[in-house]
Amino acid sequence: MESSTEANPKPRHWWPAVAVWLATGLCMSLLDGYLDLANLAILLVLASALVSLSLSPLASLCSSAMAILAFNWAFVSPRGTLVVDLREQVLLLITMLAVSWIVALLMGRQRALAHEARRHAQQADQLRMLGEALRDARAPLEQVDLLGETLEQLTGGPVTLLIPGQDTPANGENRLLRGRASIDQYDGLRLILTTSQAMGPGTGRHEEQNAWFLPMRGRTASFGAALLPVTDEIARSLPLREHAQALCDQMGLALERAHTLYLARTAHAEAQLQGLRNTLLAAIAHDHRTPLATILGAASALLEQNERLSSDQRQRLAATIVDEAQALTRLTDNTLQLARLDSPDLELRMDWESLEEIVGSVLQRVRRRDPERRVQARLAPGLPLLRCNAVLLVQLLDNLLDNALKYSDAGTAVEVQARQENGRLLLAVLDRGPGIAPEWRERVFTAFERGGAPDTAMHRGVGVGLALCRAIARVNGGQLYYRPREGGGACFECSLPLTPLPPHRPHEAPHS
């Protein structure tokens, strides 16, 4: 960035002017006698215009006046003196001086305007580049170094940047992200971070400082602060300070947007958590009350009327307690597991598992609830090992089979099928129940949604079973979807990836 002093010519700009005057004097000496005085004067005015291109206005005025005096002494009669005989020659000299001075002033003005235009264009480019960088960055803090480098181009000195913590803009933990600061400077940065008012030379506040303390202002507060050491010459430049403040404010607005998004995400997460809590409380209040009331009633009957009850009655009451307790346990496990799988910091233990063993363990559990042995397994031979979390996969298959038994007619078979297809393992649970209406085929995978099946009120649950199954499939790298069966019924199919087994190392013994 050009400073304000660069509008004035440096000493090297005198040499073109000296060369122009020497060349003009030589030409006028050679043409003396061939051209009249008026034509020679035109050459002098032309040279004055050329000289004003490289000299400051004051230097151009002085050099033009000296050149006209030299012209009077050398070419105006009587020559060798500054005396002028004719009035026409006096008018000529005055006109030459006036035109030279007007040209010098106009050229100086044009140079100042050109310099100002270049300065504005360069400042606009800096603002545009910083704005584009902040727009494309994932977080504004990634462009802190770019802001510091841009500010250093303005002042020529090291820049210190202070950014508060993300939780609160002004009162959080403050961090120096760039540069160094003394204790007094650090206190000054914290002060302007709180007050959002600049300090330093030309600001009207703490003028004795040798640096600018500039806040990174957003619309509601300051989200950072910058320390720019300045010289006396730079400190007097109001446009330079205003541009530095505009750069800081651009970063402040970006930090404010990031802070607002952070608060919005936090509020959304809290709202979701509160909604989940409310839904869980409503589910517990509604769906846990029935099995608890049944368990309490059966247990009270056993306790108070044990001697009046027959052996069969006591056995039925005990079986009711067990069934309702198992249903309550399943309901609680599904709800808690769904909440755990939705956690962003979830870490699962994956291992190589045999699908035959997983299906076999699930069948043992299901057939305790299925004395009619309606569940049938059809597994393709030679299925490869599956890299998965066996506990979750058992829970997925158990929930799908429990749904199939619950919503299909008594006496109809429920099938478990597994096969390998296109490098994936397809695990499906099929039944001959009523199926699911088209408008509910995706909604049933949403937590706490229960619908699409007839006689819903007859079946307890909070609507987390299928949502949990889809979550389990997702964390194991697979997908769970529904498709209707030909001839009626439902098919829930889980597609899981098949990962090649790692090669055995020479020193490793094969597993028995």
Q: Note whether residue 512 is domain-resident.
A: no
Please give the residue that has the higher pLDDT: either 198 or 52.
198
The verdict on 192 and 273 lying in the same domain is no
The verdict on 356 and 488 lying in the same domain is yes
- Residue 32 sits at φ, ψ, to 5 deg, of -65, 125
- The distance of Cα 478 from the centroid of its chain, to the nearest Å, equals 29
Please give the residue that has the higher pLDDT: either 378 or 177.
378
Average pLDDT score over residue span 396-419: 88
457 pLDDT band, cuts 50/70/90, is very low
pLDDT given at position 408: 84
345 pLDDT band, cuts 50/70/90, is low
Alpha carbon distance 401, 390 (integer Å) = 16
Q: Check whether 494 has a pLDDT greater than 90.
A: yes
Residue type, 330: R
List the alpha helices (DSSP H) in 137-231: 144-155, 183-195
Residues facing 222 on adjacent strands: 217
- Two tokens at 59? 């230097």
The verdict on 298 and 260 lying in the same domain is no
Q: What is the CATH number of the domain that holds 186?
A: 3.30.450.40
Element holding 465 (H helix, E strand) = helix 465-475
The verdict on 76 and 40 lying in the same domain is yes
The verdict on 169 and 251 lying in the same domain is yes
Say how many CA atoms lie within 13 Å of 420 toward its Cβ.
11
pLDDT given at position 418: 93
Q: Do 22 and 6 touch, CB atoms closer than 8 A?
A: no
174 pLDDT band, cuts 50/70/90, is low
Strands 160-163 and 375-379: unpaired
Q: Note whether residue 361 is domain-resident.
A: yes
Structural domains counted in the chain: 4
Q: Check whether 326 has a pLDDT greater than 80.
A: no
Alpha carbon distance 342, 498 (integer Å) = 24
pLDDT given at position 53: 81
The verdict on 78 and 154 lying in the same domain is no
Q: Check whether 187 has a pLDDT greater than 90.
A: no
Last residue of one domain, picked from the residues 97, 131, 165:
131
The verdict on 254 and 289 lying in the same domain is no
pLDDT given at position 6: 42
CB atoms within 10 A of CB 170: 14
pLDDT given at position 31: 85
Alpha carbon distance 376, 382 (integer Å) = 19
Last residue of one domain, picked from the residues 341, 374, 403:
341
Average pLDDT score over residue span 464-475: 85
Residue type, 158: P
pLDDT given at position 280: 63
Q: What is the CATH number of the domain that holds 274?
A: 1.10.287.130
Q: Note whether residue 510 is domain-resident.
A: no
The verdict on 184 and 240 lying in the same domain is yes
Q: Check whether 1 has a pLDDT greater than 60.
A: no
Q: Check whether 286 has a pLDDT greater than 90.
A: no
Average pLDDT score over residue span 381-389: 90
Residue type, 380: A
Q: Do 166 and 132 touch, CB atoms closer than 8 A?
A: no
Q: Nearest to residue 427, comparing CAs of 348, 486, 367, 481?
A: 481
The rounded percent of the chain whose pLDDT value lies above 90 is 10
167 pLDDT band, cuts 50/70/90, is very low
Q: Check whether 50 has a pLDDT greater than 70.
A: yes
pTM to 2 decimals? 0.52
Alpha carbon distance 197, 212 (integer Å) = 11
pLDDT given at position 417: 93
Summarised one tens digit per residue, pLDDT across range 71-90 is 888 888 787 777 776 677 78
Q: Note whether residue 150 is domain-resident.
A: yes
Summarised one tens digit per residue, pLDDT across range 243-283 is 888 989 988 888 888 888 888 888 887 887 677 666 666 66
Alpha carbon distance 486, 178 (integer Å) = 68
Average pLDDT score over residue span 113-142: 82
The verdict on 358 and 470 lying in the same domain is yes
The verdict on 242 and 358 lying in the same domain is no
Average pLDDT score over residue span 168-186: 70
Average pLDDT score over residue span 354-369: 87
| Strand ranges inside 76-180, DSSP E | 160-163, 175-178
Check the CA dihedral 426-427-433-435 and report its sign: negative
**Which residue range is the domain that position 323 belongs to?**
268-341
Q: Check whether 11 has a pLDDT greater than 50.
A: no
The verdict on 364 and 484 lying in the same domain is yes
Average pLDDT score over residue span 206-229: 88
Q: Check whether 173 has a pLDDT greater than 80.
A: no
Q: Note whether residue 508 is domain-resident.
A: no
Please give the residue that has the higher pLDDT: either 4 or 115.
115
Please give the residue that has the higher pLDDT: either 489 or 276.
489
Determine what percent of the chain falls in helix, strand and coil, rounding each to the nearest 5: 60, 15, 30
Q: Note whether residue 323 is domain-resident.
A: yes
The verdict on 192 and 306 lying in the same domain is no
Residue type, 395: Q
Say how many CA atoms lie within 13 Å of 12 toward its Cβ.
1
Last residue of one domain, picked from the residues 314, 341, 368:
341
Element holding 386 (H helix, E strand) = strand 386-388
Q: Check whether 451 has a pLDDT greater than 80.
A: no
Considering 237-241, 378-382, 405-409, the range whose residues carry the highest mean pLDDT is 378-382
pLDDT given at position 283: 60
Please give the C-alpha separations between residue 384 and each of 293, 308, 378, in angstroms, as whole numbers: 47, 58, 15
Alpha carbon distance 212, 206 (integer Å) = 10
Q: Note whether residue 507 is domain-resident.
A: no
SS (H, E, C) 42-59: HHHHHHHHHHCCCCCHHH
Q: Note whether residue 454 is domain-resident.
A: yes
Q: Which of 140-144, 153-157, 275-279 has the lowest average pLDDT?
A: 275-279
Say how many CA atoms lie within 13 Å of 92 toward its Cβ.
21
What is the overall mean pLDDT for the chain?
80
